[in-house]
Structure 1
């Protein structure tokens, strides 16, 4: 959690300017909003309930804006007299129930007020009681005493409306800045995650389902976005509001402020307790989402096999199991959220209100706190609980976002290799393997002391049974994996001295099942490399014999290609893959079962293109159809990770060893062929080997 929080802060620091402006806007918005109860307090205590303050006779009848006439005499409220200004006798205006009465004298004490039937006002305070003669004020008479306050009342009301408008403007600015910064943070994070995927070794993808990786880039980063946009916005805003309200309450009345302080540790304890249980559920939920995405991705990719072997029910059952587990943990989290929801926060708020009534009503504060102060305090208390409810409601999103951030940063912390820029001179194509040993798992060597040499322009063919190490040799040459013993040299230089990007700059590969990207035929040949012109694309397709194929397509080079080229035949996809290799003009070319899955007629076209494709470059061929490698300069026969035979086709046939037996079997000559040299019906991957990654 600590490291995750640190990384989240580091990402936020990249966009600190808009965040600081958002903080400034928020502070101003909070200040304008918290000024409201103070304005209301003044309006109540000074301009509304202030009518009950002492009134005095005044000889200054010209000050009609503050002096009120009553029965031929002018009166002014005590707080409207200037310092040192003379005044006459005191009178009072008091509210009794809904009525207002005029008392033509001062009162000695205040307490419970009551109008008697004999026209007297009785005021009782404990054992004390006093009676006064009164005159009931009508609406017009009462209005005359309130009239001097209307100007200031309207001024305060107008000022309050201005504060609301200003606060709304700064609130908009705060939210816009905060959310735009959050969007940019997530944009940067997604870019970093995708760049990290380009840095990760092939072994990472061997051990991680594609759906889980996709889930981290999409679902998890979106949850982290919610952290910045919703969670932190609420926590950030709520904290500023709560601090501001506490300060305002202390300014209002420190005794009432002390009463509210226990709310803060209660909220913190609530957050800690919630996260303790929610963390477990959210980890399980995110894992299940990743597993579901992986399973869906696999099901879509293998839909043909699922239907061909009637596995729809089993696949659906597997999905239902994952879905049920996901729903179970979601329901557990839902129960926790319901238990600690805002409803419980409202209960706490009402308990505090009850405590406030008891605290004020049962103490000496009852006589010391004005109605305006009490109103402002209750208003502030309500305002304090509002952000607290917002914080509590965001706890589920907080925990989900933290778990997602853990998963994202876990991916970002995976060791990888930086993608470097730079060019190296084109290889001559002199390849040497010197005593190479390699194992995907410790102690289980798949290559044992492999040594051979491929001179520039030569074609080297690799043949052998499944698991013999053919693809592993090419994986090492491409540095999808690094050798553990021995070394591989290109033009006399250890390939580990080159970056992987520099090494692969002058290497090309054609796979048995070529991968095509969504786009057009032209973009799949050039891979959108600006150095490969359209004329070069056309020439490459023409040289590999694809002219007839292009002529049959409505849009030619611009024919749309959907995901994996599923609308094209195997032969068409393979021809595009050959053209791609030719367009990039590699010094070293690898053909990994390039003719294994195409028809005989297309194979003849490709075989004719191979002469063009392999000319002037070192070529490595993995082949099961031995007839396609008869012209190879060197054939390496592998068995259990060792080279057991090597030489040209003619030389190996003359030896009448393993290669001879394999060739005879494929040509239909069964006599004398040992049972252990059965031809391979279809190529298979060796443990840990990778196909389709260039």
Structure 2
């Protein structure tokens, strides 16, 4: 397998194909995050500048044109109150000149009420109510330095202040009614509504931008996986058959279906979550530094802490995820094989044994999954949530143990807690997707392993001249495994229009000769020529363009009968399809079907008999009008009546074509021009039927055995 860094680079290369779409999505994401993170900052502004502003210094006095003309002020029962931040420089100078009639006061929130404190000139320290110390009633309120005595309906209470650990000082304060409190905030309503409107607008904008970026990233991820699947499917068709001889089909299916799906999760879930989380964290840090540099610096300690935990998570869970993916691939291979051979399993009563084998794989995957889940549970939400909760509690304890206003403003504190809560969500999101990322990396290794297998490029076969069909094998030697030849020194010629039959016991090399002729494998030694030209280095598409083959177990695709004959070939119209079916004798049963030539068949044609499938397979080969026709045990599983139909059709379709027949039923090859008898990869006899019978050799013994002769089979086939 490739190193993880190489796999990541190759995955990134797929992503870079759509770099403009990804860059646009990230730009939109940055705007969405900025709009989303503006909410706590707006809340901080509302708290500090509008809600908490009532506790700023106020000045109490009577009307003075220099102070309140055209300016802001609050009137409570004949007294005017001006907040310090409402004054212009010229008003402040006028107030200083009128200091005897204007004095500094405070409106303070103590427990559940708002109180006016105008009985002292020192307002620093911690203020609180004194229980049961005040008297309730209606008392006159007077302004210092004036003779006026306007009446204010208030409740007088006793409050205390503690300054720098000194003894408490007692003062009187007046509790404001709800209407009077509303007057204090009369100038804040419009700005607060404006900020709230901006806040709602940013939320709507953030939602729209998040939808756009999510749609763009998700659709891009689907495009990436679509392209990867197509690359994988194209490459599988280029890989030599030798690979499929040693690889379970279920594992190949798992690569295309399950492993690419896991990679899809990487691009759709992890990539989106990771990118979104990183940008969120960057935006949160920017906001924290804008709020308070000290608080932001403290939170920087989380980054290396979580990086270490993530590294430990990946290290311990990697081996479990690798086992899980391997077992899933093995299970798919077993399921594929079991379905393909289900009749055999049931005939030999192997259901329980097969189930036990599957249970072992399933149990192994379950144990690995549980071990990975324990690692995930300890290092993801639990750890992150614990750290986040402890830090939040510590922050509240620290600032709660001292004057909040002396340390930071309440608005900053609120915004910091809000951003802190948002800070841990991206971390949890990254943790949640780490398993998907690891699973995707393991799957990508397997996918790239197949993509890296040596393949042969598919070349166009348009314009390739139709060969005459002269075939020559010249001293050909071949083995599926190096050092273990299955063919040795095969030499023969087949002239145009001749029929060559290959006979011999199972494993003698008959199908291997045809596999070499079709270009599925390359010979170790010797040369194969068609019309005098070696097929070595010839385009496989050009080589097979004018070849037709009928297998012992014919395969029909899901579709109608016409499709299974023409196979998307534009040169084969409906008339040619029907003519081919007529030539092989299939029209008689097809026309009796409910939909005739449009009758749908399921995959492998299981709704048709073996003979009917074989006739359609013959028609497929004939419709392509090949120069070379290969019949690989094509009559082995056909009843005598159907065989008679095929024999009649063969006399017609073999005329002018070079035909190779691999047969066990020797009665079907009596008219062959050349019969090659193979034994253990060598041609031991050759000639036509009469010549071989006269030789009284292996062919003669095989023929007599099939006719019901009394010779000892063991002696004949030894």
TM-score, normalised on structure 2?
Answer: 0.91
Shift in Å, 1:60: 5.2
The one of 15, 34, 45 aligned to 1:12: 15
Inter-partner Cα distance in structure 2 for 1:112 and 1:39: 28
Aligned twin of 2:55:
52
Inter-partner Cα distance in structure 2 for 1:42 and 1:263: 27
Q: Does the Cα contact within 8 Å between 1:54 and 1:106 map onto a contact in 2?
A: no
Inter-partner Cα distance in structure 2 for 1:499 and 1:175: 45
Alignment of 1:200-211 (within 5 A): 200-211=239-250
Alignment of 1:304-343 (within 5 A): 304-343=343-382
Aligned twin of 1:173:
212
Shift in Å, 1:597: 1.1
**Cα gap change, 1:83/1:490 in structure 2, threshold over 3 Å: closer, same or farther?**
farther
**Does residue 539 of the first structure (1) align with residue 583 of the second (2)?**
no
Aligned twin of 1:638:
678
The one of 189, 196, 200 aligned to 2:235: 196
**Does residue 621 of the first structure (1) align with residue 661 of the second (2)?**
yes
- Shifted more, 115-124 versus 508-517: the winner is 115-124
**Cα gap change, 1:207/1:65 in structure 2, threshold over 3 Å: closer, same or farther?**
farther
SS in 2 for 1:147: coil
Specify every segment of 5 or more residues in structure 1 that has no aligned partner in the other structure, as ranges: 680-694
Inter-partner Cα distance in structure 2 for 1:366 and 1:69: 27
Inter-partner Cα distance in structure 2 for 1:523 and 1:465: 36
Inter-partner Cα distance in structure 2 for 1:675 and 1:168: 82
Inter-partner Cα distance in structure 1 for 2:515 and 2:340: 24
Aligned twin of 2:507:
467
Alignment of 1:140-539 (within 5 A): 140-360=179-399, 367-423=406-462, 424-539=464-579
SS in 1 for 2:593: coil
Q: Does the Cα contact within 8 Å between 1:587 and 1:617 map onto a contact in 2?
A: yes
Deviation track 1:549-584 (CA, whole Å, cap 9, x = no partner) reads 223222111111111111111111111111111000
Inter-partner Cα distance in structure 2 for 1:208 and 1:642: 28
**Cα gap change, 1:257/1:227 in structure 2, threshold over 3 Å: closer, same or farther?**
same
Inter-partner Cα distance in structure 2 for 1:655 and 1:213: 49
SS in 1 for 2:631: strand
Aligned twin of 1:29:
32
Inter-partner Cα distance in structure 2 for 1:345 and 1:20: 30
**Cα gap change, 1:219/1:674 in structure 2, threshold over 3 Å: closer, same or farther?**
closer
The one of 62, 76, 80 aligned to 2:82: 76
Q: Does the Cα contact within 8 Å between 1:92 and 1:107 map onto a contact in 2?
A: no
**Does residue 91 of the first structure (1) align with residue 94 of the second (2)?**
no
Aligned twin of 1:124:
162
SS in 1 for 2:529: strand
The one of 3, 6, 17 aligned to 1:3: 6
Specify every segment of 5 or more residues in structure 2 that has no aligned partner in the other structure, as ranges: 96-101, 135-156
Inter-partner Cα distance in structure 1 for 2:550 and 2:121: 106
Shift in Å, 1:366: 7.0
Shift in Å, 1:445: 1.0
**Cα gap change, 1:349/1:430 in structure 2, threshold over 3 Å: closer, same or farther?**
same
Inter-partner Cα distance in structure 1 for 2:640 and 2:182: 107
Shift in Å, 1:501: 1.0
- Shifted more, 340-349 versus 40-49: the winner is 340-349
**Cα gap change, 1:104/1:622 in structure 2, threshold over 3 Å: closer, same or farther?**
same
SS in 2 for 1:548: helix
**Cα gap change, 1:347/1:34 in structure 2, threshold over 3 Å: closer, same or farther?**
same
Shift in Å, 1:133: 4.1
**Does residue 599 of the first structure (1) align with residue 605 of the second (2)?**
no
Inter-partner Cα distance in structure 2 for 1:304 and 1:74: 99
Q: Does the Cα contact within 8 Å between 1:122 and 1:130 map onto a contact in 2?
A: yes
SS in 1 for 2:72: coil
Q: Does the Cα contact within 8 Å between 1:460 and 1:620 map onto a contact in 2?
A: yes
**Does residue 571 of the first structure (1) align with residue 611 of the second (2)?**
yes
Aligned twin of 1:687:
none
**Cα gap change, 1:451/1:103 in structure 2, threshold over 3 Å: closer, same or farther?**
same
The one of 108, 127, 147 aligned to 1:113: 127
Shift in Å, 1:364: 9.3
Shift in Å, 1:105: 6.5
Inter-partner Cα distance in structure 2 for 1:162 and 1:63: 36
Deviation track 1:269-299 (CA, whole Å, cap 9, x = no partner) reads 1211111122111111111111111111111
Inter-partner Cα distance in structure 2 for 1:624 and 1:538: 30
Inter-partner Cα distance in structure 2 for 1:553 and 1:504: 33
Inter-partner Cα distance in structure 1 for 2:651 and 2:623: 15
Inter-partner Cα distance in structure 1 for 2:106 and 2:439: 63
**How many residues of Structure 1 are paired with residues of Structure 2 in the alignment?**
678
Deviation track 1:333-363 (CA, whole Å, cap 9, x = no partner) reads 2222222241332111112123324554678
Q: Does the Cα contact within 8 Å between 2:404 and 2:410 map onto a contact in 1?
A: no
Q: Does the Cα contact within 8 Å between 1:508 and 1:590 map onto a contact in 2?
A: yes
